[in-house]
Amino acid sequence: MTDHDGHSAHPKYQAHHFKSMEQQTAAGKLGMWVFMAQELLFFSGLFCAFGFVRYMYPDMVSQAQSSMDWRLGGINSIILLVSSLTISLSVRSARSNNRSGTIKFLIATMICGFAFLAIKGAEWGMHMHEGYFPGKYFNPVHHAEIQDPLAHIFFGLYYVMTGMHGLHIVVGLGLMTWMLIRASKGEFNSENYVSLENTSLFWHLVDIVWIFLYPLLYLAK
């Protein structure tokens, strides 16, 4: 417990409409979990679409998947898993009133996020170099391994799925920047940490979506 005056007085970070800090924290956490249910359903639509395409064109999909570099995807998976650890440590630091730890682990997480985006961007660049553009722009160069024109469906969906995931990474980075500013102002402590924890929940969600994307797109053949 931090040192603010009196038990019954409104703590500094408590919004007026909550009766207690516990209520505020519980509401914040529940809100994030409900929001994550929404995120899950959002991605499930894309997973369904992928399952459908795979069911329709199993040969095309397995051939197109051969262009995926599992090593780069693997590195990205490790990066995201590490970042999940660091953001959890950041929350832990905040809850034990360790401001510098909170900031350091947040920055470490953000570095992981940017590294992920850089590698993902490089992969996109490699695909496009081969001429595997999405949709109607799909036009493989002569020496490209995949010449099947139907492969444009796989690549279209690949770009949409990884793009949507990447968009979530960008949103997560934005949230972490905001948290970084608030952390450097010393806003987080053992009582007031729910927005940081919610950011970490969001980041874990982004992580777990990738944990499903990686085997589906890179490994399952």
Which residues of this protein are in contact with other proteins, per CB under 8 A? Answer: 15-17, 19, 23, 26-27, 30-31, 34-35, 37-39, 41-46, 48-49, 52-53, 56-57, 134-137, 150, 152-153, 156-157, 159-160, 164
What is 150-194 written as a DSSP string? THHHHHHHHHHHHHHHHHHHHHHHHHHHHHHHHHHTT---SSS-H
Instruction: Answer yes or no: are the C-beta atoms of 206 and 112 closer than 8 Å.
Output: no
Cα dist from 42 to 1, 47, 168, whole Å:
38, 9, 12
Task: Give the residue carrying structure tokens 């924290």.
Answer: 25
Instruction: State the CB neighbour count (10 A cutoff) for residue 43.
Output: 19
For residue 53, the minimal CB distance to other proteins (Å) is 7
For residue 12, the minimal CB distance to other proteins (Å) is 17
For residue 107, the minimal CB distance to other proteins (Å) is 27
Closer residue to other proteins (CB): 16 or 143: 16
Closer residue to other proteins (CB): 53 or 79: 53
For residue 130, the minimal CB distance to other proteins (Å) is 17
Closer residue to other proteins (CB): 57 or 70: 57
